[in-house]
Structure 1
Amino acid sequence: MSKLTKQQIIESAPQKGFFGHPKGLFTLFFTEFWERFSYYGMRAILVFYMYYEVSNGGLGLDKTIALSIMSIYGSLVYMSGIIGGWLADRLFGTSKAVFYGGILIMFGHLVLAIPGNLTMFFISMVLIVLGTGLLKPNVSSVVGDLYTEDDHRRDAGFSIFYMGINMGAFVSPLIVGSLMKTSFHLGFGVAAVGMFLGLVVFIATKKKNLGLAGTQAPNPLNPSEKKRALVISLVSTIVTALLVAISIPQGWLTFDSFVAFVGILAFLIPTAYFIVMYRSPKTTEVEQSRIIAYIPLFLASVLFWVIAEQGATVLALFADTRANLNFMGIELSPAWFQSFWPLFVIILAPMFAWLWVKLGDRQPTIPQKFSLGLLFGGLSFIVILLPSYLGGGDALVNPLWLVLSIFFVAVGELCLSPVGLSATTKLAPAAFSAQTMSLWFLSNAAAQALNAQLVKFYSAETEIIYFGTIGGSAIVLSILLFFISPVIQRFMKGIR
């Protein structure tokens, strides 16, 4: 079959039908809604499951170890997107990657739903890591396939898509967080049902709504490359298994050494990808310039997600141990606070989508939007240190401080994350479209790998210096990014 052009793909999908956007946005909106319902429902209670005592239905791990595991798990989830992006780009296209990923995620949550031990826990983590790596970057790439580069609906479309993500993320912690009081495993079972519903929506509507979007690998392997890739994969798997089998009994592979290894990989892999894409003969001179422009955006994203992703680790622990959960006569679940972030995004996303469309060519440039996102992320950590600074570190904190901090993160996310998704599809070299989307999610992987080390320094006694150092650093770097935005813009070669 001859290679499809971008225009052929766009023409194959109905362009009107979902809030004035391509009809395929409906399919991707609800597929991602249920996938995020599944993921965030599981994530809302996962850290509590790890450190709650066995008598309370948990695994009984040390709190600091639980926070590090949570961070390194999040890093691996997003790092696996490189594998998912490569498979989509070189083998079977983004549509099949989404389907296969959903299957793995569903089974991963089913394993968590079965009462078991630490071994069962790690098996479920492997399944979810691999499944999310296939699904997450590729469903966003399909959204990009529905629009031309100069379509003014593009950023608004990603904002609407992002609202679907956050609707799922809002509902699930409320449901699963309530169920955790009865049984953690019941909550994980509900997450599995959510992923199943996502698969049903995708299969039932993709042919009619998506047309040819996602059906073709943009840079397929030839037969000799397929054979070579298979050999490399088999050898790598065997060597890895042997190294693990030898290093664990010898004491070389410990939790700390594994965390350090993943942390190094989380920064080495994106560095290698930037170099490979830049030097590839398939990358044009204009695309090379855009790759250079993408680097500071990537680094800004890393720092933002360092702050934002602590909502499921440090701030989850803060909610459980430092916040007054008896509020106005209502006994709050600590997991419920993770619903505020997506709730604020749901409320604000239409306003941001309208604002970008209304401003048109007068809206802030992509680097300027990133600087605003980083600024609000930093302010969120300044807010959360105030109750300890004003009232001391012993008294329980009014939960509204936590809600206000989450509000600032949500504003920052809307300035940075949907814009980053859209910018990635615009700046990506044609031969590396899905892999560049995976590279975008690697900023989150790097952030969470860094968090696996940072969370070791958090305690009730170090709250002020912990939040102040990280939040202050983000604010300073946001100002620097704003001032160098014109330079970055020139390297983007016409992309605004």
Structure 2
Amino acid sequence: MRSQHSPDDIVKSIPQTGFFGHPKGLSTLFFTEFWERFSYYGMRAILLYYMYYEVTQGGLGINQTTANSIMAIYGSLVYMSGIIGGWIADRILGTARTVFYGGILIMIGHIILALPMGITALFTSMAFIVLGTGLLKPNVGSLVGDLYSKKDPRRDSGFSIYYMGINMGAFIAPYIVGTVGETYSFHLGFGIAALGMFIGLVVYVITRRKYLGLAGVNVPNPLTKKEKSTYASVTAAAALIIAVIGWLGFSGGWLTVERVIFFISILGIIIPTVYFIMMFKSKKTTAEERSRLLAYIPLFIAAMMFWAIQEQGSTILATYANERTQLNFLGLELKASWFQSLNPLFIIIFAPVFAWLWTKLGDRQPSVSQKFSFGLIFAGLSFIVMIFPAYFNGTESLVSPLWLVLSFFLVVMGELLLSPVGLSATTKLAPVAFAAQMMSLWNLSNASAQAINAQVVRFYSPETEVVYFGVIGAVAILLGIILLMLSPKLKKFMMGIK
């Protein structure tokens, strides 16, 4: 069994200055994640259009409603796969090697998508990118934590810089990949996304040993020889069964894309439910921790509702940008994919403002559940405002792009109220025995939301636009108000956690 290095040994092995006063390893992880997000969000900016554009326009000609459902399920699987990535890092490879292999899989996925091989390439590339992102995404964040000692005052600032790298990559990607994809060729756009991940891997490989030292080398809970044999057999058998069922199902015509989507949508509800029940009933969970878990359930439901709206920025609002929006504005020729840059742009601008505000308010700031409530209300408002263009002008005429800008702005205000707070609350309310799994559960709030979205987006069309945005927006606002009313009660259930 490989020897385990102590946190102090890991920190000592890393050059502690060299990147804006932070450990040099932060630059490695900053640019690795920058390029990974560039590749992912660049691909995502044009993937929906590639799916539903006609073959004569360089697309696959998939029904637009089905394409929106596939996008939602794709996003759901990306978040679900983080559970696998965490397990592999903890039990087999360690975080550093898991990140590398994840990047390789992501790059292969984008390369496959860049080849003109039709719908087979689409689903094959999705499998690679889902698995690769699951390996890379959660473990890069873990590596950032390894750079600092627990008491290092630079720790929170380091995560903020890292978070900025994520959003910078997501911000510029639609302008580059989106423009190339929409103007010249979708496949060329996907090729640029693959190049982005390749650059990220090169940065990681060249600088890893020098700047990351022993970070991510440990395998915290390695498999025994017996477990390795058992898991290898189970994995091989499961892969074979899935392959056989898939081949028989698709060749026989009874396993359709719609049925696969429906099955994954159901999983999106079942998996977090099982997680909650397992933790709540565990003998390792104390009575106090059970009380905190009960307080967490309304927060989880609120997060699901929020992400169900926020993630429609890449499906319904992306469709709206392409089909219902004036793309000639103030003498500028806009691309529909550019609207995908609004979310990271607003986060880059306003995240420091919110961080300053919470510091300024100190003990006077709203409680966790109140912040969630306001975040949910902002998300609801981001859909309510989308009623007005159709209500005043009908659905036949194109609308000003400023409506989309306003909608993205409102949902980002909600995200800054809910997302960072949700991460913090998850760590505070987690039972000690399930600290890591609780973070996986938080990520499942997004996976579950997108799994549900795969069914919900089927109800959207220009004709149902007002009802669609109105009902979803109103439900979010109503849930936000209910959560606000429950805040004093939830505070008691949190047992002293603020």
Is the Cα contact below 8 Å between 1:89 and 1:433 reproduced in 2? Answer: no
Give 1:130 shift: 0.7
1:182 is aligned to 2:184: yes
Per-residue deviation at 1:129? 0.8
> What is the deviation of 1:438?
2.9
CA distance in 2, matches of 1:295, 1:208: 43
Alignment partner of 2:326: what SS? coil
User: Which residue pairs with 2:418 in the alignment?
Assistant: 416
Report what 1:223 is aligned to: 225
Are 1:445 and 2:440 an aligned pair? Answer: no
1:7, CA displacement in angstroms?
A: 6.5
Who is 1:345 aligned against?
347
The residue number in structure 1 matching 2:106 is: 105
Shift of 1:89: 2.6
Aligned residue number for residue 32 of structure 1: 33
How many angstroms apart in 1 are the aligned matches of 2:217 and 2:394?
58
Higher relative CO (CA 8 A, sep ≥ 6), structure 1 or 2?
Answer: 1
Task: Within 5 Å, give how 1:114-125 maps onto structure 2.
Answer: 114-125=115-126
Contact kept, 8 Å, 1:340 with 1:403, in 2: the verdict is: yes
Match of 1:374 among 356, 373, 376: 376
Q: Distance in 2 between matches of 1:23 and 1:488?
A: 42
Residue of structure 2 equivalent to 1:173: 174
Alignment match, 2:322: 320
Instruction: Quickly say closer, same or farther: Cα 1:335–1:231, change in 2 above 3 A.
Output: same
Q: Distance in 2 between matches of 1:145 and 1:294?
A: 28
Secondary structure of 1:397's partner?
A: coil
TM-score by length of 2: 0.91
Cα 1:271–1:148 change in 2 (3 A) is farther
The residue type paired with residue 127 of structure 1 is F
Does structure 2 retain, via aligned residues, the 8 Å contact 1:158–1:421?
A: no
Unpaired runs of at least 5, structure 1: none
Counting only pairs closer than 5 Å after superposition, residues 146-157 of structure 1 correspond to structure 2 as 157=158
Q: Provide the C-alpha distance between the structure 1 equivalents of 2:142 and 2:86, rounded to a whole number of angstroms.
A: 9
Aligned to 1:64: 65
Deviation string, structure 1 residues 447-491 (Cα, Å, up to 9, x no partner): 111111111110111111100111111111112223333444444
Aligned to 2:307: 305
Deviation at 1:33, TM superposition (A): 1.3
Q: Which amino acid aligns with 2:87?
A: W
Question: For residue 92 of structure 1, what is the amino acid of its counterpart?
Answer: L
**Offset from partner CA, 1:82-140 (integer Å, 9 cap, x none):** 21122123222222222211110011001111122111111111100111111122223
TM-score by length of 1: 0.91
User: What are the within-5 Å matches in structure 2 for residues 224-303 of structure 1?
Assistant: 224-280=226-282, 288-303=290-305
Aligned length: 496
From the superposition, tell whether residues 436 and 91 of structure 1 become closer, same or farther in structure 2 (CA, over 3 Å). Answer: farther
Cα 1:214–1:270 shift into 2, 3 Å: farther
Of 156-165 and 86-95, more deviation after overlay is shown by 156-165
Identity of aligned residues (%): 62
Shift of 1:440: 2.1
SS, match of residue 393 in structure 1: coil
Which consecutive unaligned segments of at least 5 residues does structure 2 have?
none
Q: Equivalent residue for 2:85?
A: 84
Q: What is the CA-CA distance between 1:375 and the residue it aligns to?
A: 1.6
1:300 deviates by 1.6
Q: Which residue of 2 aligns with 1:459?
A: 461
CA distance in 1, matches of 2:413, 2:264: 30
C-alpha separation between the residues in 1 aligned to 2:287 and 2:89?
25
Deviation of the 1:154 alpha carbon: 5.9
Distance 1:145 1:493 in 2: 30
Question: Greater shift after overlay, 471-480 or 86-95?
Answer: 86-95
* Cα deviation 1:283-329 (Å, max 9, x = unaligned): 56665554444333222221111111111111111011110111112
Give the letter for the 2:228 counterpart. K
The one-letter code matched in structure 2 to 1:106 is M
Equivalent-residue separation in structure 1 for 2:242 and 2:318 (angstroms): 34
What is the Cα deviation at residue 272 of structure 1?
1.8
CA distance in 1 between partners of 2:4 and 2:467 (Å)? 55
326-335 or 145-154, which moves further after superposition? Answer: 145-154
**1:355 is matched with which residue?**
357
Cα deviation digits, residues 241-295 of structure 1 (max 9, x gap): 2222333344331122111100011111122223334445565666555444433
Secondary structure, counterpart of 1:80 in structure 2: helix
Give the letter aligned to residue 99 of structure 2: V
Deviations 1:336-366 (A, max 9, x none): 1111111111111222223333444443333
